[in-house]
Amino acid sequence: MEEARRVGTPAALLRRHGFADVLVGGGAWPGPERVRGALEELGVVFVKFGQVLPTRSDPLPDAYLAALQGLQDQVSPLPAGTIRGVIRRGSGTTA
């Protein structure tokens, strides 16, 4: 059940950002800004991935690289409570 929830939530988010055809195979990718928005909404690990991609010129078309470059210095901040919760869960503490 936990596995289905972990996979279902990102899949729903990707569909909402225009990845429905990509998810079922063969569809066109959504626009660069929608890709960036999806990465931001998916969270810090995906943002980091999006920050690394524009440092290489070969993986994506220029329009996508330009949109992802914005993740390097223009990312919406996470609430402090969210960050504290991640640190607590990662360190095994509850207080």
Please give the torsion angle defined by the CA atoms of residues 31, 7, 24 and 30, in that order, rounded to the nearest 10 degrees: 0
Annotate 59-70 with DSSP letters as a single string: SS-HHHHHHHHG
**Contact between 45 and 30 (Cβ < 8 Å):** no
**What pLDDT, on a 0 to 100 scale, did the predictor assign at position 5?**
52
**What pLDDT, on a 0 to 100 scale, did the predictor assign at position 3?**
46
User: What's the whole-model pTM score?
Assistant: 0.59
* Whether the predicted pLDDT of 6 surpasses 60: no
* Whether the predicted pLDDT of 94 surpasses 80: no
**Cα torsion 83, 88, 89, 91: sign:** positive
